[in-house]
């Protein structure tokens, strides 16, 4: 299946190149049959990219450590759920998944573009651009980070998935981000085709604006989820900040936001709107403004945050004050050690009181994952204990523990929950505000 | 059947489907294909149209 996966990757690249060549020929010679053949090439590229992805997925599920990428990102003691997530944990798999999504979005957009665009040559250029984007993604996968590369001698077990990525969010956030970035290909291809043809009419503008909203919504959701994930998993930000997928998605989101704001200003100044549209836009503006205000409040409250570096013995009590002047005590309940197959967990539980009133327990863990032969390949992973209220988040991070003593950091972060609410309001408000009135599609 | 044989078969089938529009272009009923002469009937109709267009001037 690995062989079929790699073969399919190369065939998909050939199909995408075929699509670009034939669509360019179709545009230059005004022959619709060539454009149609190019669009079909894109669909065939989708089929082969999906086969290639299935090949890599099978290699992960079947623990095929002769494949370097599988040996680097999985091991026999990784749960099946995380074996699947390991698919996109490295550059090669991420590129292959992005190619699959570009192929799916591109083939749909190409079939629609060929049928719907009144200007046949512009439709052909749209197909050619989509083919070019997919060719670039597949070429980068095949030449630069081929996930099907084999090792000279297959190891008995793999290196395992990076512990920082062993979080349920791994199944949602990266694919959502890649899908958002892939969906950007469709409006981008339409704009490039219009620039080549120098024909940018109202109908096309409405179609571009309508298709921009989907990637903007997906990327906004991915950014919010990513921020939340980085908040609850210290260390993730350092691991993922330089990732090309994250940088590309952030740039795409910024460009789309600027485009949508410009289009919104143009629409607001130009056309009289129906009552329902005016109400929708007003609600969107209110939500977005409310969200932005909440985020600003949280930003302004950041200097109020309190951090305490604590060294505490079992049964000992530590006193602290939060951002609002409340007196807290933390009584150590001692550390506990749990040895499981594949990882050792050290947990510390604290019993907090606020102004003398007992609060629920807060526990922080340090997890050491083991790879093949009991080797601790990755550094220990800290899982913070978080107690969230609207007023503030109590954040406890265990740094070290041993011999009846623990080293930890206790933080009071004021109004953090408002930032998440503000982010969601901003995204929802943006969607309401940027939603294209149905009348605009008809122009 | 080996995976490589399945891949090769899939590739051939996909290629046939992908290039089909180029060949079906030859069988379009109106015969208006770029670079090829139209059918005799279309030729006659085009000549008649040109004649009609010229008549008022002469």
The dihedral over CA atoms of A203, A205, A206, A209, expressed in degrees to the nearest 10, equals 160
For chain B, which residues score pLDDT lower than 50? 27-37, 58
Structure tokens given for A255: 């460009």
Residue A77's pLDDT is what? 80
Q: Do B22 and A33 touch (CB under 8 A)?
A: yes
Cβ contact A219:A249 at 8 Å: yes
Upper half-sphere CA count for residue A42 (Cβ side, 13 Å): 35
Residue A181's pLDDT is what? 93
Residue A147's pLDDT is what? 92
Q: Chain B partners of A15 at a C-beta cutoff of 8 Å? A: 14, 18
Cβ contact A161:A377 at 8 Å: no
Distance CA(A203)–CA(A192), nearest Å, equals: 15
Residue of A nearest to B21 (CA): A33
pTM for this entry: 0.83
For chain B, say whether A41 makes contact (Cβ under 8 Å): yes
Of the candidates A368, A380, A364, the one whose C-alpha atom is nearest the C-alpha of residue A332 is A364
Cβ contact A400:A416 at 8 Å: no
> What contacts A131, CB < 8 A, 6 or more positions away?
A16, A17, A18, A19, A20, A23, A38, A41, A42, A45, A106, A110
Q: Chain B partners of A34 at a C-beta cutoff of 8 Å? A: 21-22
Distance CA(A125)–CA(A28), nearest Å, equals: 9
Residue B53's pLDDT is what? 66
> What contacts A305, CB < 8 A, 6 or more positions away?
A323, A411, A412, A413, A414
Work out how many CB contacts closer than 8 A connect A with B.
53
Question: What is the SS3 assignment for A26-40?
Answer: HHHHCCHHHHHHHHH
Residue A443's pLDDT is what? 43
Count of Cβ atoms closer than 10 Å to residue B5 Cβ: 10
Q: What are phi and psi of A154, to 5 degrees?
A: -65, 130
**Mutate which of B5, B8, B14 to test chain A, going by most A C-beta atoms within 10 A?**
B14
Q: In this structure, what DSSP letter does residue A140 have?
A: I
> What contacts A348, CB < 8 A, 6 or more positions away?
A332, A333, A334, A335, A363, A364, A365, A396, A398, A401, A406, A408
Element (H, E) at A274: none
Smallest Cα distance from A382 to chain B, Å: 43
Identify any residues that bridge with A347 across adjacent strands, giving them in sequence order.
A336, A365
Distance CA(A224)–CA(A140), nearest Å, equals: 28
**ipTM above 0.95 for this complex:** no
Residue among A30, A37, A48 minimizing CB distance to B19:
A37
Cβ contact A82:A161 at 8 Å: yes
Q: Would you write out chain A's pLDDT as a tens digit for each of its 443 residues?
A: 788 888 899 999 999 999 999 999 888 888 888 888 999 999 999 999 999 999 999 999 998 889 999 988 888 888 889 999 999 988 899 999 999 999 999 999 888 766 777 777 888 899 999 999 999 999 999 998 899 989 888 888 888 888 888 889 999 999 999 999 999 999 999 899 888 888 777 777 888 888 899 999 999 999 999 999 998 888 788 777 778 888 989 999 999 999 888 888 876 666 667 777 788 888 989 999 999 999 999 999 989 999 999 998 888 899 999 888 899 999 989 888 888 777 788 889 999 999 989 999 999 988 888 766 666 677 788 889 999 989 899 999 988 887 788 899 999 999 999 999 999 999 999 988 888 765 555 44
> What contacts A261, CB < 8 A, 6 or more positions away?
none
Q: Chain B partners of A52 at a C-beta cutoff of 8 Å? A: none
The helix/strand/coil state of A263 is helix
Structure tokens given for A66: 């002769």
Q: Chain B partners of A16 at a C-beta cutoff of 8 Å? A: none
The dihedral over CA atoms of A221, A227, A228, A230, expressed in degrees to the nearest 10, equals 140
Residue A102's pLDDT is what? 94
Smallest Cα distance from A8 to chain B, Å: 7
Cβ contact A61:A208 at 8 Å: no
H and E: helices and strands count for chain B: 2, 0
Hey, which residues 9-38 in chain B have their CB within 8 Å of chain A? 10-11, 14-15, 17-22, 24-25, 34
Residue among B10, B24, B34 minimizing CB distance to A29:
B34
Residue B36's pLDDT is what? 47
> What contacts A150, CB < 8 A, 6 or more positions away?
A66, A67, A68
H and E: helices and strands count for chain A: 14, 10
Q: What are phi and psi of A347, to 5 degrees?
A: -120, 145
Structure tokens given for A338: 């749990």
Q: What are phi and psi of A395, to 5 degrees?
A: -125, 115
Residue B26's pLDDT is what? 56
Q: Do B25 and A31 touch (CB under 8 A)?
A: yes
């Amino acid at each position: 299946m690995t062989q079929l996966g790699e073969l399919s990757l190369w065939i998909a690249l050939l199909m995408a190149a075929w699509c670009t060549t034939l669509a360019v020929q179709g545009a230059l010679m005004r022959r619709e049959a060539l454009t149609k053949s190019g669009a079909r090439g894109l669909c065939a590229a989708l089929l082969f990219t999906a086969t290639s992805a299935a090949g890599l997925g099978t290699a992960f599920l079947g623990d095929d450590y002769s494949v370097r990428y599988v040996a680097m990102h999985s091991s026999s003691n990784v749960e099946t759920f995380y074996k699947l997530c390991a698919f996109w944990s490295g550059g090669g798999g991420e590129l292959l998944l992005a190619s699959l999504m570009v192929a799916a979005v591109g083939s749909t957009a190409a079939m629609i573009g060929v049928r719907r665009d009144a200007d046949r040559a512009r439709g052909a250029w749209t197909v050619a651009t989509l083919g070019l984007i997919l060719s670039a993604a597949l070429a980068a996968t095949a030449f630069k980070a081929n996930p099907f590369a084999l090792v000279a001698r297959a190891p008995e077990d793999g290196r395992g998935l990076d512990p920082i990525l062993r979080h349920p969010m791994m199944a949602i956030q990266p694919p959502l981000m890649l899908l958002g970035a892939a969906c950007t290909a469709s409006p981008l291809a339409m704009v490039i085709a219009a620039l080549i043809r120098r024909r940018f009419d109202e109908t096309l503008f409405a179609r571009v604006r309508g298709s921009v909203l989907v990637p903007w919504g997906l990327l906004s959701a991915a950014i919010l989820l990513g921020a939340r994930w980085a908040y609850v998993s210290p260390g993730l930000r350092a691991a993922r900040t330089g990732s090309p997928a994250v940088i590309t998605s952030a740039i795409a989101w910024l460009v789309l936001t600027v485009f949508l704001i410009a289009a919104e200003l143009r629409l607001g100044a130009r056309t009289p709107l129906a009552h329902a549209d005016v109400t929708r836009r007003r609600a969107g503006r209110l939500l977005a403004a409310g969200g932005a205000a909440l985020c600003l409040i949280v930003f302004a409250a950041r200097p109020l945050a309190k951090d305490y570096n604590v060294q505490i013995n079992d049964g000992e009590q530590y006193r602290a004050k939060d951002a609002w002047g409340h007196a807290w005590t933390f009584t150590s309940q001692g550390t506990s050690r749990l040895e499981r197959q594949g990882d050792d967990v050290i947990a510390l539980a604290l019993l907090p009181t606020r102004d003398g009133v007992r609060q629920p327990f807060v526990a922080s863990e340090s997890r050491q994952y083991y790879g093949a032969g009991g080797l601790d390949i990755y550094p220990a992973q800290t899982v913070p204990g978080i107690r969230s209220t609207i007023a503030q988040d109590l954040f406890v991070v265990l740094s070290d523990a041993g011999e009846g003593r623990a080293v930890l950091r206790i933080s009071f972060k004021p109004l953090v929950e408002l930032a998440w609410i503000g982010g969601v309001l901003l995204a929802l408000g943006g969607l309401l505000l940027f939603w294209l009135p149905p009348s605009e599609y008809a122009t | 059947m080996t995976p490589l044989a399945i891949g090769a078969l899939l590739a051939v089938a996909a290629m046939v489907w992908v290039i089909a529009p180029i060949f079906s272009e030859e069988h379009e009923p109106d015969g208006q294909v770029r670079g090829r002469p139209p059918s005799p009937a279309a030729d006659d109709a085009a000549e008649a149209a040109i004649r009609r267009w010229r008549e008022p001037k002469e």
